[in-house]
Structure 1
Amino acid sequence: MTKDDIAAVFEEIATLLELQGENVFRCNAYRNAARAVTQIDGDLKTLIQNNELEGIRGIGKAIAEKIETMVTTNELPYLKELQAKVPEGLRALLKLPGVGPKKVKALYDNLGIDSLEKLKQACEENKVADLKGFGAKTQAKILEGIAFVDTVGNRVRFDQAYPLAQKLLEHLKALPGVQKAEICGSLRRRRETTKDIDILIASEDAKPIMAAFVKLPEMMQVVGHGETKSSIVAGMHLEGEVGQIVLNADLRVVTEEQFPFALAYFTGSKEHNIRMRQRAIERGLSLNEYALTGKKNVKCKDEKEIYAALDLSYVPPELREDSGEIEAAEKHKLPRLVELKDLRGVFHNHTTYSDGSASLEEMANAAKDLGLEYFGVADHSQYLKMANGMTPARARKQIKEIDALNKKLKGVQIFKGVECDILEDGTLDYDDDLLSEFDYVVASVHTHFGMPLEEMTARICKALAHPFVTMLGHATGRLLLRRDAYRLDQDAVIECAAKHTKMIEINANPLRLDLDWKHIKQAKKLGVPLVINPDAHSPVDLRYIENGIFEARRGWLEAKDIFNCQGFEEVKSELKRRKGL
């Protein structure tokens, strides 16, 4: 088992203990252990042999023994014991927004609810509202949450689906006779979530490829096995995830000559394909998944030649949503989309001063290892006690530590920031004297998600008007496939940011990807600078920036649209200017 696998086990243990009503300290011990394991340097087996595990912060004797068991046996009997005590359906209830382990336990203890179906029925019969600690409003929110879960169905996040798709592709590329192979569909367009995997292969002999596909190691069930198309249910365990990622996977095999047309067609979107077919018809041609034909076939060796044949610039897959890309391609005015190498630094990150798992120096050096010039820390402000929010005294202590580190560090510099809570009335969690000591301020909502649309919009706009606020963090509060965005007039918020010359974050945490691409486009249109931030709580989380690049590309962003595509000196100068220094 890897470190991430072990961390996932400890996270699940913490949740299972909470569902059994264990005390919060014991549950937190396992969550702390999960964070500690991911930050261990060196080989676990070596640490175990040298009896060095117990010396690591967050790992005591009992935790060390469990780590040793998992490393040596690839399993943990204690986890199986806990799983046997907790009905499987209870864990499904935790997917509902606002329903934590305490509420799940109360529902089970008082009403015997151990499934979404039973919970929905109990709400409809008004039984949940009568429970202590619930009430009519909570019952209504639970019903909304069940409807949300039903809507997202069996969709999976991009960061979970893509590794499975890549693994399938890797197997298929190694087969004899495969000339070309690509992932298609919504994964190629970098959609935030997907419900299936589409793979396309060019080969002159489809039969052996189809036979191999339905026998891949990840195959769980054969749905269909044809001559040129087959479908399976595929599953794979990802590091750090509890359970397997399971998705339908479709494979199509075409000839090498057909491949560019099939790649364009099966990449989609459907709406983009309709526009492309219409454009072909207007030119006396016919476009489908196999060819571009007129009086004779128009041969195209790749997608670029298909677009050129229709008098268009090549449209990158991320833009193929029928959202203006055809018109821009016709005028040859598509943007030069931002790339990962354009990003020079990050601003929204956490350390052990709040709920991060690594020190300031460790995080800054991890940023340097990724090739970044600067690292901005934005630990939580005091209001968010559950995230170990910093008191003013601790915030000032951190500022002094940053000043000292900046004299010591080479190849990377730290900007002093804070993720300051936007309180219910739109005021900020720190006073102006303290806020003025930071290089920048990320203002974020972490509580009171259920406010009416007008009140939430006014709350955020009031914060954006504050002179010390630099950027808005995770603007809509959504958690992909877990929690919908709070009720908010997003256009009004973007207009407010433009009015007050504030920035808006693209939160690259794969659970958030917030702003979404449509509102990124709107922000760009109004001249609002965007900032790609990983919201990292550990060194490995800094790699989330790639997710942010994907979302930025879907939002038509170029490097010039993104604040942290500027170098250190430019950023330093602009942050000072914004503070009036």
Structure 2
Amino acid sequence: MDKKLIVDILNEIGLLLELKGESPFKSRAYYNAAKTIETLDQDIETLVKQDKLKEIKGIGDALNKKLTELVTTGKLDYYEKLKASIPTGLIDMLKIPGLGPKKVRALYEKLNIKSIRELEYACMENRLVELQGFGEKTQRKIYDGIQFIKQHTGQYLYAEAFNEAVRLKKFLESTGLVQRCDIAGSLRRRKEVVKDVDMLASSHYPGELMDAFVSYEDVREIIAKGDTKSSVILNSGINTDLRVVKDEEYPYALHHFTGSKEHNTAMRHRAKKMGIKMNEYGLFHGEDLIICRDEEDIFNRLNLSYIPPELRENMGEIEAAERGEIPSLIQDDDIKGIFHVHTTYSDGSNSLYDMVQAARASGYKYIGISDHSKSAFYAGGLKEETVLRQLDEIEELNRSFSDIVILKGIESDILPDGSLDYDEDILEKFDFVIVSVHSHFKMSREEMTERLIKAIKNKYTKILGHCSGRLLLAREGYDFDVYKVIDTAAEYGKIIEINANPYRLDLDWRYVKYAKDRGVKFAINPDAHNIGGLNDIKYGVGIARKGWLEARDVLNTYDVDIVGSEKYFVYLD
């Protein structure tokens, strides 16, 4: 059974127990078990078969029995009964920013609120103002959170939808019924949030291919089925369309269904001025089809250099292609090392040694460790004595490995006044300092802008982390003047992070090109809190590509000796 699913179920049990008001020790046992399973090196099915799961610290007899049932049968009776005992609307209410299990339980027990809609109505009637533990400020925050959820309903993180699409593409290709097959739509353009999955295929057997598609094991509901287009809803809830065309139509259809609408409109307008009709079926001179083997041919026929899918947003890419100035975009293989990695020294799930070993296994030449600083007490931030102990361990590991360099870093909280939370005698010991905002998000636009600018100007700051503080589909970023912040980073030679965590993908790609044009350099950072998080780097590369970045624009495409050279970056002293 998939380990991630087991971890999700254990975490959900902990959450459901909190909703029921059970002992915090009971729910904590499931949270801890989830963390233990997540960091297991051994195969969990093998451990269950050999009856060795109970030997792992934190897995007692009761948990061992439940995990054995879950792994061997794919179901857990205790979990199903627990879910059935709680109104489903209460779980939905937990998606509202600022609402935890205790508050949801209070709303249910004291006001009999069982859904988001009921809660919204209660806020409009000011029923939360006098409720113990809430008040007017909390009510306003909850109401705003509900509006945020309503605005983003039916949207999915890129990583969630992309992983679904990759699995579906492999399935379609395995049928032997496709000639060509691609992921299209906003996923192909690497938008950070998408509404659905668009698949395109060419086939000699469209009817049989559609039969296979709607029979795919992850299909929950069939919306429509035809010979050229079918729509389904996957078990994840994502609406997914498959279009099937003739192979000679494939290049035109792939361009059209990749979009964006604005890019397509501009392309059709350009074609029309050249006396060419352009649509999803082809390019035409009158009634005559202009033969194109692939998308590159399409652009060439319109006197344009090839425009990568990520740039097709009608934001200057057509004009750049006309001038022959489309950049050679960064690729996954260009990344030589990573920064912004957390360990068990703060809130990471894996040890420093394990994270280094995982980076070595991935072929990275350097890894920058950056646990939380002391102000982040909620994340186990490092006190000064712990910093010194970690730095000693890093030096010892550097003596042990010849194929990777371990850089000493910290993710320092930007305090409300813009200062950092260590004295100079500690800050100067680091190879690099990432500065990030983790608290006091409700400052005014002017105050937050000055807070960020002051932190950037600090002589020890090397990288500005997750610039806006947003969590996609969960929390809007704080208000600040992004252009002033970018201009300051450019002036002081500081690096801006592209945080590759799929929940962040921050700096927003819409500002990346502006920063590039101002001469800012970037670091694509996984913000990894476990070994699996190291793989998120690919999502950051996608955002860098959308922002027109080339390898030379990104710090971690350089060798470690160049990383440390002030000739290229004001980075390491």
TM bucket (normalised to shorter chain) is: over 0.9
> 1:399 aligned to 2:378?
no
- What residue number does 2:240 align with? 249
| 1:329 paired to 2:321 | yes
Deviations 1:139-188 (A, max 9, x none): 22222111111111111111111222223323322345422121111111
Alpha-carbon distance in structure 2 between the residues aligned to 1:520 and 1:174: 38
| Residues in 1 aligned to 2:88 and 2:440: alpha-carbon distance in whole angstroms | 30
Cα deviations by residue, 1:356-393 (Å, 9 ceiling, x for unpaired): 11111110110111110011111111222221111111
1:204 and 1:81 map into 2 onto residues whose CA distance is 48
Aligned pair 1:172/2:172, yes or no?
A: yes
Q: Measure the CA separation in 1 of the matches of 2:547 and 2:514.
A: 9
1:117 aligns to 2:117 (yes or no): yes
1:58 CA drift (Å): 4.4
Relative to structure 1, the CA distance from residue 448 to residue 62 in structure 2 (aligned partners, 3 Å threshold; closer, same or farther) is: farther
Matches within 5 A, 1:72-83: 72-83=72-83
Summarize deviations over 1:81-125 as a string: whole Å, max 9, x none: 332332211111111122222222222222222211011111111
Structure 2 CA distance for aligned equivalents of residues 368 and 203 of structure 1: 42
Query: Cα distance 1:355–1:558, how it changes in 2: closer, same or farther (>3 A)?
Result: same
- Relative to structure 1, is the Cα distance of residues 183 and 577 closer, same or farther in structure 2, using a 3 angstrom cutoff? closer
* 1:297-316 alignment, distance < 5 Å: 297-316=289-308
Quick check: 2:563–2:572 contact (8 Å CA) kept in 1?
Answer: no
Q: Distance in 1 between matches of 2:571 and 2:185?
A: 45
Work out whether 1:485 is the aligned partner of 2:486: no
Q: TM-score, normalised by structure 1?
A: 0.94
Question: Partners in 1 of 2:131 and 2:36 — Cα distance?
Answer: 38
Q: Percent identity?
A: 46
Deviation per CA, 1:66-86, whole angstroms, max 9, x where unpaired? 333322232223322332332
Instruction: Describe how 1:11-26 pairs up with structure 2 within 5 A.
Output: 11-26=11-26
What letter corresponds to residue 306 of structure 1 in structure 2?
I
Aligned to 2:269: 278
Contact 1:346/1:532 (8 A) holds in 2? yes
In structure 1, C-alpha distance between the alignment counterparts of 2:561 and 2:572, rounded to whole Å: 17
String of CA shifts for 1:507-562, please: whole Å, max 9, x gaps: 11111111111111121111111111111111111000011111111111100000
Report how many aligned residue pairs link the two structures: 572
CA distance in 2, matches of 1:474, 1:545: 14
Asked if 1:346 corresponds to 2:338, the answer is: yes
1:436-462 residue CA offsets vs partner (Å, 9 max, x unmatched): 111111111111222222222222222
Q: 1:333 & 1:364 partners in 2: Cα distance? A: 39
SS of residue paired to 2:369: strand
1:398-438 C-alpha deviation (Å, 9 max, x unpaired): 11111111101231121111111112222212222211111
Which residue of structure 2 aligns with residue 452 of structure 1?
444
Alignment TM-score, normalising by the size of structure 2: 0.95
How far apart are 1:57 and its partner, in Å?
4.5
Pairing of 1:362-381 with structure 2 (within 5 A): 362-381=354-373
Tell me, yes or no, if the aligned pair for 2:165 and 2:197 is still in contact at 8 Å: yes
Aligned to 1:226: 226
495 and 29 in structure 1: CA distance in 2 versus 1, 3 angstrom threshold: farther
8 Å Cα contact 2:437/2:469 also seen in 1: yes
The 1:228–1:73 alpha-carbon spacing in structure 2 relative to 1, beyond 3 Å, is: closer
Task: Give the secondary-structure state (helix, strand or coil) at the position aligned to 1:128.
Answer: coil
Matching of residues 492-571 of structure 1 within 5 Å: 492-571=484-563
Worse-superposed segment, 98-107 or 343-352: 98-107
Which consecutive segments of 4 or more residues in structure 1 shift more than 6 A?
none
Deviations 1:263-300 (A, max 9, x none): 10010000000111011011111101101111432111
Compared CA separation, residues 71 and 518, structure 1 to 2 (3 A): same
Q: Distance in 2 between matches of 1:132 and 1:522?
A: 48
Summarize the Cα distance change of 1:86–1:253 in structure 2 as closer, same or farther, 3 Å threshold.
same
Over 3 Å counting, the alpha-carbon distance change for 1:213 and 1:46 in structure 2 is: closer
Please list every run of 5 or more consecutive structure 1 residues that lacks an aligned counterpart in the other structure.
236-244
**C-alpha separation between the residues in 2 aligned to 1:175 and 1:228?**
17
SS in 1 for 2:247: coil
